[in-house]
Structure 1
């Protein structure tokens, strides 16, 4: 009679055998991540603690004398990471906000400005990515 094995049992046996055969050997692990079309984080808040602006280097500014302490902060995270450039473009066209930080290698965007302006910008980014680009999006968290 032929033994019936579930997929889970088969995978467990394969991984167990591989692990047992590789014990004591030098291993090289590779982490692979395939980013999907996703806006996975959207948060708008006004920090009480001025050190948050300083730790994010938002107190420096690009223009002499510019200081964003006291502004609201909007944060967005997107994959694929390059799409953050589109998010920044949509945000600054939707409301009077400043780009405090943008990283096209990690998909991170930080916006600063008045709470209403930052909220409007983040809402428009989420809407545009969902409706126009057909990304999976999260809800906006505000505090």
Structure 2
């Protein structure tokens, strides 16, 4: 490129309807909880959803299906974080993934664990 030419980059966001991550951290250490900004919990459930607005629906379903705390919802990135007892977090994520798949036609992610 010489001085008069400019490089132009165009980025497009093309959302698919999918749950890209559904992961449960069982028995997180206090240090991790502190760094993430949540109170000590038996488990942390993390989801990312595309399009991001699906995070609102996932958080709603998760909170209605189990006794969990919805600690974070970001409609721009599609991130949802829930905390609670291990069984409750597992049930909440499972209900959210199934509801997004069955009701809205999202492609589901397998729920993973550490």
Residue 49 of structure 1 and its aligned partner are, at CA, apart by: 2.7
Say if 1:48 and 1:39 are closer, same or farther in 2 by CA, change over 3 A.
closer
Residue 52 of structure 1 and its aligned partner are, at CA, apart by: 1.3
| The structure with more strand, counted as a fraction of residues | 2
Structure-1-length-normalised TM-score: 0.74
**Cα distance in 2 for residues equivalent to 1:132 and 1:70:** 30
DSSP-derived class of the 1:132 partner: helix
* Unaligned segments of structure 1, at least 5 residues: 1-22, 59-67
* Higher normalized contact order (CA 8 Å, seq sep 6+, divided by chain length): 2
Pairing 1:52–2:32 present: yes
The structure with the larger Rg is 1
* Unaligned segments of structure 2, at least 5 residues: none
Residue 132 of structure 1 and its aligned partner are, at CA, apart by: 1.3
Instruction: Specify which of 107, 110, 114 is matched with residue 81 of structure 2.
Output: 110
Specify the alignment match of 2:101 in structure 1: 130
Structure-2-length-normalised TM-score: 0.91
Say if 1:93 and 1:56 are closer, same or farther in 2 by CA, change over 3 A.
same
